[in-house]
């Protein structure tokens, strides 16, 4: 059975920034995949709960940073979590991932815009970017049917 990396919060673990989960109904996924939960932020040592973070592009310096709503720059922790996620995928020979949309780590098509206003923009989280660069195909909780078709 093909292995699938799944965000720990989608798996039902309360690891999100607010200490909650975004649990999915996993029965259908379990019929097609061996589910391996992982959270980039927790793996990097970020606490639960933690302040919300968003990706901010600083045009003046041409840099992308991950900043908490309290102003703390957590880019290094998020990048470390991305690298640990890639290593996990490589160790377990994982080529498919189901990650949480809108997250600064796991967003695959949209992320929050960096204003902490709830607005979203097209973009990818830092973990998704790294996984894509290394051949891991990423899906989110809104396109599970396409993932299941691929796994069938």
3-state secondary structure 15-32: CCCCCCCCCCCCHHHHHH
Mean pLDDT (the chain) is 95
Q: Percent of the chain scored above 90 by pLDDT?
A: 89
Q: Chain-centre distance of CA 43, in angstroms?
A: 12
Average pLDDT of span 76-97: 98
Determine the Cα–Cα distance for residues 64 and 75; give it in Å rounded to an integer: 8
* pTM for the structure as a whole: 0.94
Question: Widest CA span of the chain, in angstroms?
Answer: 49
List, in order, residues 6 or more apart from 131 with CB less than 8 Å away.
82, 85, 86, 89, 97, 138
The 10s digit of each residue's pLDDT in 91-106 is: 999 999 999 999 999 9
Find out whether 84 and 44 touch, Cβ atoms under 8 Å: yes
Tokens of residue 72, six digits: 């703390």
């Amino acid at each position: 059975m093909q292995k699938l990396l799944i965000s720990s919060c989608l798996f039902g673990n309360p690891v999100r920034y607010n200490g909650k989960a975004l649990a999915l109904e996993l029965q259908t996924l379990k019929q097609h995949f061996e589910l391996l939960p992982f959270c980039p932020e927790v793996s990097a040592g970020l606490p639960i709960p933690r302040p919300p973070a968003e990706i901010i592009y600083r045009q003046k310096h041409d840099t992308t940073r991950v900043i908490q709503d309290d102003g703390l720059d957590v880019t290094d922790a998020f990048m470390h979590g991305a690298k640990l996620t890639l290593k996990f995928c490589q160790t377990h020979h994982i080529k498919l991932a189901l990650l949480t949309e809108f997250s600064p780590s796991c967003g695959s098509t949209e992320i929050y815009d960096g204003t902490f206003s709830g607005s979203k923009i097209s973009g990818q989280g830092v973990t998704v970017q790294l996984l894509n660069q290394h051949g891991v195909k990423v899906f989110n909780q809104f396109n599970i049917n396409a993932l299941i078709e691929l796994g069938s």
